[in-house]
Structure 1
Amino acid sequence: MKRITLHTAFIVALMASFSNFVLSQSFEESGGGYCALKKQQMNYPPPLPMDANTPAHTFNVLKYSLHISLMNNYDPPYPQSYQAGLDIKIRVDSALGSIKLNAVNRSLQIDQVGLAGVSFTHQNDTVTINLDKTYQPGDTVDVSIGYQHLDVEDSTFYAGDSFVFTDCEPQRARRWFPCWDSPADKAQLEVWAKVPPDVKLGSNGALVDSAFTGDTLTYHWRSDNPIATYLMVLTSKKNYNLDVYYWVRPSDNALIPFRFYYNTIDHIYIEQAADSALKMCDWYSKWYGEYPFVKNGFAAAGKEFPWGGMENQTLTTVCKGCWWEGLISHEFAHQWFGDLISPGTWADIWLNEGFASWSEGFWLESYGGYAAYKEKIDKDAKYYLEHNPGWPVYNPQWAVDVPANDTLFNGAITYTKASCIIHQFRYIVGDSLFFKAIYNYATDTTDFKYKNVVTKDFIDKMSEETGQDMHWYFDPWLDQANHPVYFNSYNFVQMQDSSWEVKFTAKQTQTNAPFFPMKLNVYIVFDDLSDTTLYFMNRKNDEDFSWEFDKKPAYFEFDPTNEIVLKKASLIFSTDEKKLQGSFMFNVSPNPAKNNVTLHYTLPKGGPVSIQLFDVTGREIRTLFSGLQNKGKQVLDYQINDLRSGIYFITLDTDGSKAVKKMVVRH
């Protein structure tokens, strides 16, 4: 009876956990989507813009060294207060006798300063530290600050349910330690954290030591790689479960630890999550450059955690029970795009979330091929088109005034449209140049690796790597709101020498945005069922194109595989085309079809009719109809449940005229 009870309890727990996992998957179907949705829904204290109270930046922070005591935060009533000491090493950029740091008065109380700091004032969320002398450009200065975090909830430092963790994006690090809180000023970090003996605590970088002194456990973490302040983190819990896996770094066979901190109920997911993360590390390292840090980790936080995931450098925080593949692939990609290369300003946030969202699809491509990748990109485009709020991806004002979360982290713009812009860049330049450009960007130690990027510098780098000025593409697609609405037209014209001319006019009709230049493509099928795809640049609106062929065209389609995903499009026939079709109408519905299809056509006169079905290679599958029919409307129904999913062509021949229709079968 005992064995049965234990087994039943395990099955019930497994089913409950699996149900939560599946619900999480279907909630937004992507890690970025879930992350964005949660971020948009959070209500924080008012944003802290770079206004008159923002410190002038005349120095560069080199390192933060933090000593923090969390001995009293893990048990009821879970106080938010703690004592801490912070040493800051800076390099002087212009002569100064004082420095100013962000430190929110409501959260932090400055008690004393030392080393080169001799006095201070703390007001308007800024601490001004007077130095012992005037320092010159190039000098390094060390300042110490003794401070305490007050017992207030501030949406940055969280204590509850045996958890203690921090969360800083976009500019909330200033609520748990004094700092220059800008993504552009990356610094090394070293942390000594005192906690009770049954607590496991993770932070950025490598674990140097964890040592007991009586009933106190001190964790010592150090990151020699610079970190943006919004990516600095502490995550801890009483009785945390910790599993450590290792990734073998190809360049030197070093073992890179992957640390998974999780709640007991999540144990059934961890092995699969770790297996996925290690495979992602292989895949991303191949295309983005070798994983650039000494550790990686994921930690499940408590119910207070506001996001789906947060890509803290080398230690991602995920929401409770959130171990599914899409979220992990999104957050892990941030280690390259966001952490290794951080945004220079919050106007450049699209480079973080766009690349991470795009990488979700690219990870699917690693085992599902291009079709799996493209399905994810198409979902991103669909989400954008259905939820577009009508502002551009790149907003330079955000570099000065950080907008509210539902704007900064808008899923339709910052995540999915940005992802699609990256996809379209891949389409424009082709895989060879695209992956060369991205790899060289992420491994560029001169300008980007372990540094920052602003949008212009990214575009310039893509131009350098592809050998063409890519501002023609990125500038309008990033700076302009909305997307093109195509109302294109084409016709077929028989020439005197029996050749055929295909004419095409590319026309954008949107009224809420200027013209979007784009590399277009069209697909033509000839009456012998041979085909061709043409690629060409569309640099102005209402632009005409024509091509001459020595055989009769029968079918024409604009962007048939929907590589230009950020668009709405329609295509119309010209009068000449209707004449070519012999004045009979021919339609296939539904299209896409699943089990049955109906052909509707009108014959201008009675006579012999032949209808045949071909696959995409031109191989005849079967004859659908062959015989005599009367003048007028005709309707034929066919079962197609024996056909595999894919693209097919139906030809209709009658009295010297021929029409071709494409049919998509989806089961």
Structure 2
Amino acid sequence: MKLLHSFLWLGFLIAFCGAQHFAQDKRSIPSSYSPSSAPTTIEKFDVQYYRIEMQIDIPRRNVVGKTTLRLASLQDNLQTVTLDFKTPLTVDSVGGAAAAFARQDGLLTLTLNQSFNRGQQAEVWIAYSGNPQVPGSIAFVFDRMPDESPYVWTLSEPYGARQWWPCKDTPADKADSVDLIITVPQGNLVASNGLLTEVRSDPSGWQTFHWQVRYPIATYLVSIVAGPLFHFTDYYHYSPVDSMLLDYYVFPDDKIIAQQKFTEMHDYLDALSHYFGPYPFLKEKYGQAQFGWGGGMEHQTITSIGRVSDAWTYLYVHELGHQWFGDMVTCASWHDIWLNEGFASYSEALYAEWAGYNGQPPGLDSYLDYMSTQLYFDAGTIYIEDTTSFAQLFSRIVYDKGSWVLHMLRKVIGEDNLFEAFKAYLNDARWTYGSVRTENFKEICEQISGVDLDAFFDQWLNYPYYPQYEYEWTPHSNVDQSYTVELVIRQTQQQTLYVMPIDLRFLFADETDTTLTVQNNQFTQEYLFHFAKQPIYLQFDPDNWLLKESKETSPTTLITGYGFHKIFPNPSPGAVNIELIYWQREDYPVYVFDLLGKKVRTLLPNNRIFNQHQYFWDGKNDRGKAVSSGLYFLKAPTVAEGQTRKIMIIR
């Protein structure tokens, strides 16, 4: 799921909101909706197939359903099968190899009509009926569209599938295939996973939609949106001769903007396919279906979205990224949910690098700028100890700090190795289309890079916070006119030592610079550098490859900070010199306004010395006419937002 970068609360934790992020990921699972008190016995059997048949009477808010499971025993003498089914639905009957049933504490135990030994298959079915909606839950919702049309939608992560169909509700056991046969009153459409293979109408006023999923799928990724939706399609041409269906279902009120906005999906797919390899469900489809929750959810091949908006680009990218990370390979345990969410959040930064971000062209600067929107400095570990705590399970840490782990890993092992590791991890025969743990990703990264990553993953996943650095550097001139720099770096945080490479950018008196990388693996560490020219400034981790705090304790010869530094003479008979401090090398404008707020002149720098950008105003307006005596104001909103400086012109 995708969040926003600023926490909201809706019952339970919803999402966070960022610079360009105006959508939420799936963080609104109510506190009353919890796992069963007793866990499913994972090792007893393996689910191979589900067939979910459900007639949904949308106006009357009632369902009649039947779920068939095909399973293989993982032990000898299997006599009972326990499923998750925490729901107000009534079990009407069971059959197939199931002879009887019992319900307790959100579990449905089926007594089999014979014993099954290891490797033997059994098929059971459960018939049920009623209203599966639970107050405060968003697992199965009877809802209304903005035009008041009734419709139904589901959102099952992490423990919601069991609310509307009996299943083995764990991401560690994916079914090889699923059929969803959903019947609704005529006039409604059904959007779901996989491919739509049949639509049939009943003379009594019902219509049935048969969706087939033929890739492995986790229970929480199974989805339904049913109602009077507007449907349209497109095709993604992933090769000169092959294409894939793009399938969209939205509220009728949003049909125009959806048909415009969703044309961008081709670019999203091109970008993520470049970094991760081909879209993993090419034989089925990719689509988006609008639903009633105010965020997004990566249902396999059919992402659910709360809004259609130009502002939601990075939510759409996030959910698409989940098709690789979360759907193709799925965290085997919710302890490792960062393998889903951190990777999908990192997909956003890679798309910024691909497409450009915040007015910048495609490239590393756009990527680094986007990563700054995902900074996370609060406590907590990325590894989630208590998976029944939804505040922990869907907190920002697994999204933002999880993304930063990958950002920092890019620096540690190199971007070529990281991108190769992504593809190798996704396509490893041991777990592709299956379930994974952090150790699996770590193993692949170590194999490809040759770097021991024990310390890296331990420090960033199992400890809260981040490193806090203090550094002190002292230059010394030598008799041969060269220079030696003594540098001391200290880590001052209370928890673990962080072993990380650190970039150091030295600026020299001749306005050149060089960047060196040191390995920092001690709480206090000393370094010596030799230069042929005079260093006058040190930038610590200038491109922000580290999630950190840093503070220089030695004096600097450069002016630090941002904004206006000098304005002289002031008052002035006409000509004014202006110095503005910022590190970017672009030429940012300074504007001159009169007392009425009218812009009279736009200035660009005429000289730069490191971070000091020098401007000259000749006291004339944009038409070349000398301004009259009076009070004027300088503003530089690009680099000094909110700062205003006064100039008095006295002729």
> What band does the TM-score fall into relative to the shorter chain?
0.7 to 0.9
1:414 to 398, 402, 407: 398
Could you say which residue in structure 2 is the equivalent of 1:642? 604
The offset of 1:440, in angstroms, is: 1.8
The offset of 1:587, in angstroms, is: 5.3
For the residue of structure 2 that corresponds to 1:573, the secondary structure is: coil
1:346 to 309, 334, 347: 334
> Is the contact between residue 297 and residue 314 of structure 1 (CA under 8 Å) also seen in structure 2?
yes
1:546 to 528, 531, 540: 528
Could you say which residue in structure 2 is the equivalent of 1:313? 300
2:270 is the alignment partner of 1:282: yes
> Is the contact between residue 523 and residue 534 of structure 1 (CA under 8 Å) also seen in structure 2?
yes
2:383 to 388, 394, 398: 394
AA matched with 1:422? L
Report the identity percentage.
28
The one-character-per-residue Cα deviations of 1:119-157 (angstroms, maximum 9, x if unpaired) are 111122111111122111111111111122436435211
Could you say which residue in structure 1 is the equivalent of 2:562? 592
1:195 to 184, 187, 190: 184
The offset of 1:496, in angstroms, is: 4.4
The offset of 1:613, in angstroms, is: 11
1:40-51, aligned counterparts within 5 Å?
Answer: 40=28, 43-48=30-35, 51=37
User: Hey, what's the Cα distance between the residues in 2 that align with 1:164 and 1:651?
Assistant: 59
User: Hey, what's the Cα distance between the residues in 2 that align with 1:434 and 1:126?
Assistant: 42
Could you say which residue in structure 2 is the equivalent of 1:658? none
The offset of 1:380, in angstroms, is: 0.8
Could you say which residue in structure 1 is the equivalent of 2:194? 205
The one-character-per-residue Cα deviations of 1:328-380 (angstroms, maximum 9, x if unpaired) are 11111111111111111001111111111111121121121222221110111
User: Hey, what's the Cα distance between the residues in 2 that align with 1:645 and 1:111?
Assistant: 82
2:427 is the alignment partner of 1:443: yes
Could you say which residue in structure 1 is the equivalent of 2:245? 257
1:118-137, aligned counterparts within 5 Å?
Answer: 118-137=99-118
* Equivalent residue pairs, number: 565
> Is the contact between residue 425 and residue 444 of structure 2 (CA under 8 Å) also seen in structure 1?
yes
User: Hey, what's the Cα distance between the residues in 2 that align with 1:378 and 1:247?
Assistant: 32
More helix by share: 1
**Change beyond 3 A, Cα 1:99–1:561:** same
User: Hey, what's the Cα distance between the residues in 2 that align with 1:326 and 1:645?
Assistant: 38
> Is the contact between residue 501 and residue 546 of structure 1 (CA under 8 Å) also seen in structure 2?
yes
2:66 is the alignment partner of 1:85: yes
Could you say which residue in structure 1 is the equivalent of 2:618? none
Return the TM-score normalized by structure 2.
0.81
User: Hey, what's the Cα distance between the residues in 2 that align with 1:391 and 1:232?
Assistant: 30
User: Hey, what's the Cα distance between the residues in 2 that align with 1:569 and 1:536?
Assistant: 15
User: Hey, what's the Cα distance between the residues in 1 that align with 2:119 and 2:606?
Assistant: 69
For the residue of structure 2 that corresponds to 1:533, the secondary structure is: strand
AA matched with 1:568? E
AA matched with 1:285? S
**Change beyond 3 A, Cα 1:425–1:119:** same
Could you say which residue in structure 2 is the equivalent of 1:109? 90
Return the TM-score normalized by structure 1.
0.79
AA matched with 1:58? K
AA matched with 1:486? Y
The offset of 1:160, in angstroms, is: 2.4
User: Hey, what's the Cα distance between the residues in 2 that align with 1:570 and 1:482?
Assistant: 17
**Change beyond 3 A, Cα 1:415–1:612:** closer
2:372 is the alignment partner of 1:378: yes
The offset of 1:28, in angstroms, is: 3.4
Structure 2 residue ranges without an equivalent (≥5): 1-14, 145-149, 357-361, 569-577, 587-600, 615-636, 641-651
For the residue of structure 2 that corresponds to 1:66, the secondary structure is: strand
> Is the contact between residue 55 and residue 102 of structure 1 (CA under 8 Å) also seen in structure 2?
no
The offset of 1:551, in angstroms, is: 2.6
Alignment RMSD, CA only?
A: 3.2
AA matched with 1:228? A
> Is the contact between residue 201 and residue 237 of structure 1 (CA under 8 Å) also seen in structure 2?
yes
> Is the contact between residue 338 and residue 398 of structure 2 (CA under 8 Å) also seen in structure 1?
yes
User: Hey, what's the Cα distance between the residues in 2 that align with 1:247 and 1:157?
Assistant: 31
User: Hey, what's the Cα distance between the residues in 1 that align with 2:40 and 2:123?
Assistant: 22
**Change beyond 3 A, Cα 1:497–1:599:** farther
Could you say which residue in structure 2 is the equivalent of 1:60? 46
1:337 to 325, 332, 353: 325
The one-character-per-residue Cα deviations of 1:204-256 (angstroms, maximum 9, x if unpaired) are 11111111121221101010101111110111112x10010111232x83321
Could you say which residue in structure 2 is the equivalent of 1:561? 543
The offset of 1:599, in angstroms, is: 9.0
**Change beyond 3 A, Cα 1:572–1:641:** farther
> Is the contact between residue 194 and residue 214 of structure 2 (CA under 8 Å) also seen in structure 1?
yes
> Is the contact between residue 393 and residue 479 of structure 1 (CA under 8 Å) also seen in structure 2?
yes
User: Hey, what's the Cα distance between the residues in 1 that align with 2:20 and 2:340?
Assistant: 16
Could you say which residue in structure 1 is the equivalent of 2:8? none
> Is the contact between residue 300 and residue 322 of structure 1 (CA under 8 Å) also seen in structure 2?
no
AA matched with 2:181? W
> Is the contact between residue 612 and residue 650 of structure 1 (CA under 8 Å) also seen in structure 2?
yes
> Is the contact between residue 89 and residue 132 of structure 2 (CA under 8 Å) also seen in structure 1?
no
User: Hey, what's the Cα distance between the residues in 2 that align with 1:524 and 1:319?
Assistant: 48
1:573-652, aligned counterparts within 5 Å?
Answer: 573=554, 588=559, 591-593=561-563, 596-598=564-566, 641-643=603-605, 648-649=610-611
2:498 is the alignment partner of 1:520: no
User: Hey, what's the Cα distance between the residues in 1 that align with 2:124 and 2:152?
Assistant: 27
User: Hey, what's the Cα distance between the residues in 1 that align with 2:193 and 2:55?
Assistant: 17
